[in-house]
Chains A and B, each alone.
Chain A
Amino acid sequence: MTFLDFYEYSLIGLLLGGLYALIGLGFVLVYKATRVLNFAMGEFMMMGAYFYFSATVLMGLPWWAGVGIALGASAVLALGVERLVLRPLVGQPTISIVMATIGLASILHGTAVMVWGADQWRIEPIVPRAPFFLGDAMLPGQLVWGFGLASMIILGFVLFFRYARGGVAMRATATDPHTAMSLGIDAPRNTAITWVLAALISTIAGIMVGAMTNVSPELGLVGLAVIVVVILGGLDSIPGTIIAGLIIGWIESMSVAVFGSGVREIVPFAVILIIMMVRPFGLFGTPEIERL
């Protein structure tokens, strides 16, 4: 591998990592609020991509209307799921709720196959494809734009949680929902909002991923790779997720450069195995949290 290769693949890996961090943020929000690792996050991405596909390709609407419709539909979906599936399970053992999200993932997957078929569909990327050049490295346009958008969204969330009154209430709810309620905070509503926010994040990520690859019922598999990111990041830490996303993105990109794209799916899991043996609560996680 030449130095230029190393340099270019490193940058591409970090850009990819930004996207992973964004998807990871969706996991972390839900985890912090409910202590549940939501295995249906990837399927929320897939549904968001399909909503966008339906609006822009099937109905021929402009991209901004497609984004609006996809966000709206995902929000409704998330609210429904929270109300009908998750809220009735409050107080049940965490493992049952996690199982419910796994069940939810396969229901969403099946629904997508039923409604849109098993084929792969193309959607037009919203951002320009034209590559960027950084020194001698050529970086795919979509990846750079996607990284920029992901960074903005993550930064927005960090600022909201740090400085907004509503952000303080959500952090309070996440630490101790009962005490939060005794202080007048509507914790159940905050939890529902968290699910909606996670679904909105997934939708944006889903549209980006769908435009880079294809829209298919299998789009949600990206979510599984990102589970590695959030476990590495410690499940409940946004900075941890950002760093873990960049690390996994970089390692994935480097191993593809060295071993070819065949190893792509294996690498993240191999990394996680090694790191978790050394640090069982992730790189930045709270040590006492329960492992799943």
Chain B
Amino acid sequence: MSMPAPYTTEQGAPRPEEAVDALSVENLEVVYHHTIQVLKGLSLRVPQGQIVALLGSNGAGKSTTLKAISGLLPLERGHIETGRVLILGKDAGTSPPHVLARRGLAHVREGRCIFPDLTVEENLIAGSYALPRGKPDYDIVYNYFPKLTERRKLRAGFLSGGEQQMLAIGRALVAQPSLMLLDEPSLGLAPRVVAEIFGIIERVNREQNTAILLVEQNAVAALSIASYGYILEEGRVMLDGTVDALLDSPDVQRFYLGHGTGSDGAVQSYRTVKHYKRRKRWLS
């Protein structure tokens, strides 16, 4: 059953000596409803202060990976069969999400998941619960996302998609996490807004020294700010390497960056990859 990842170019992201990883996922196998296996032995690392991209097509198991890390998995009837998750070197074990959040982990879920009936300000107040102690500093958020400032008193449900994504990230920033998991922040946003938000993500990473695991379908955008990337296929890492190595890889160029097919990246490449994989299985 276990198939070696044939395209692995390096053994994980480069790591400064002695420093403990912000996140280390070891050999994770995840099953939903005790029957559907989604992750089939996944390992990845996010060194402190770095942005690592996790790419892959629909249903590859990207969101599942994030849920397994943040403790949301059991709430959605999923289970970690084997493997473990280390956050800042500490085994996450079976800690519930709110405990992990207070340990410095922030999970910005797919589809933003802002509280639509709460105002912008109240959404940020909800985010302050992950702060173990001390007074929350909402100005940090308004500094990174000035657009939210004038919307403070507005119900979050009335924000535009881009503003909602900003709020979701800002809400996570209130607690000044050491590790952020971002699930498809570009989802449904215009290229200009994506560029704006990714610029801010990069600034947060640089200025707050926040380690980020960035899940994306938009490979071009993700690789433009990440230093390392993993490509997930059907619950396994099919390929990983530094961003430069990935950008040089012909497979990545073809199926994730859309080179040669002349497409815009994500959507079309999904179909081609499916096709390609089927062909590969025939040949092997």
Contact = CB atoms under 8 A, between A and B. Distances in A.
Interface of A: 91, 165, 168-169, 171-172, 175-176, 178-188
B126 A178 contact: no
B175 interface: yes
A179 B123 CA distance: 11
Contacts of A178: 72, 75-76, 97
Contact of B109 (A169, A182, A188): A182
B77 A185 contact: no
B118 A175 contact: yes
Interface in B90-123: 96-98, 101-102, 106-107, 109, 113, 115-118, 122-123
B10 to A, nearest CB: 31
Given A180-B126, A183-B126, A171 B117 contact: yes
B236 interface: no
A168 B126 contact: yes
Given A184-B175, A185-B126, A179 B113 contact: yes
A188 B115 CA distance: 18
Contact of B125 (A165, A182, A186): A165
B118 A184 contact: no
B131 interface: yes
- Mostly, the B contact residues are helix
B130 interface: yes
Contacts of B175: 183-184
A97 B231 CA distance: 42
Main DSSP-derived SS at the A contact region: helix
Given A181-B72, A182-B72, A175 B102 contact: no
B101 A183 contact: yes
Contact of A183 (B76, B77, B129): B129
B27 to A, nearest CB: 24
Contacts, number: 72
Given A168-B118, A187-B98, A181 B75 contact: yes
B129 A169 contact: yes
B101 A182 contact: yes
B70 interface: yes
A169 B77 CA distance: 24
B77 A91 contact: yes
B171 interface: yes
Given A172-B123, A179-B113, 19 more contacts: A91-B77, A165-B128, A168-B126, A169-B126, A171-B118, A172-B115, A172-B118, A172-B126, A175-B118, A180-B98, A181-B71, A181-B75, A181-B98, A183-B127, A183-B129, A183-B172, A183-B175, A184-B129, A185-B98
Nearest to B119: A168
Nearest to B168: A179
B129 A175 contact: no
Contact of A181 (B97, B118, B122, B127): B97
A185 B129 contact: yes
Nearest to A171: B118
Contacts of B126: 168-169, 172, 180, 183, 185
A182 B118 contact: no
A179 B77 contact: no
21 contacts: A165-B125, A168-B118, A171-B118, A172-B118, A176-B113, A176-B115, A178-B75, A181-B96, A181-B97, A182-B70, A182-B72, A182-B97, A182-B109, A183-B101, A183-B130, A184-B98, A184-B102, A185-B98, A185-B126, A187-B98, A188-B96
CB-based closest 10 A-B pairs: A184-B130, A184-B101, A184-B129, A181-B97, A172-B126, A179-B113, A185-B129, A181-B98, A182-B107, A182-B97
